[in-house]
């Protein structure tokens, strides 16, 4: 049987294509930013090393940063991500716009650390 973390990673991986499709439906073009933060560079989950949070879900492969573009312009303001972020929350995701990281999309869950 797969571990709880692996099952969550599988679930999250199935959600990502829907997120990107929704971004396109909303008129955005998308490129991918951080999807995984290697523990050799960023430290293990719970350890702060380099940039990012010690408990970053990127370290667990449960978060992705999407870079949105409209009319060829890269959007950097969290409010520009709100339509997609609010939709993502309705799908069971957690949106980084709640902590001024608008391009951050992760899996919302209450699991073991």
Domain ranges of the chain: 14-34+63-107
The token duo for 42 is 């960023």
**For residue 1, what are the contacts with CB-CB under 8 A and spacing of at least 6?**
none
> Mind listing the pLDDT tens digit for each residue in 51-84?
566 457 877 889 999 999 999 999 999 999 999 9
Chain mean pLDDT for the chain: 86
Q: Is 77 helix (H, G, I), strand (E, B) or coil?
A: coil
CA angle 27, 85, 64 (to 5 degrees): 95
Whether the pLDDT of residue 42 is over 60: the answer is no
pTM (predicted TM-score): 0.83
Express as a percent the part of the chain with pLDDT over 90. 65
């Amino acid at each position: 049987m797969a571990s709880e973390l692996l099952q969550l990673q599988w679930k999250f991986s199935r959600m990502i294509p829907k997120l990107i499709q929704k971004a396109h439906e909303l008129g955005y073009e998308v490129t991918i930013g951080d999807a995984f933060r290697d523990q050799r560079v960023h430290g293990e989950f719970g350890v702060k090393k380099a940039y990012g949070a010690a408990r970053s879900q990127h370290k667990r492969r449960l978060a992705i940063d999407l870079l949105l573009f409209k009319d060829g312009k890269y959007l950097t303001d969290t409010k520009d991500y709100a339509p997609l972020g609010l939709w993502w929350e309705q799908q069971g995701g957690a949106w980084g716009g709640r902590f001024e990281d608008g391009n951050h999309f992760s899996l919302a869950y209450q699991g073991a650390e």
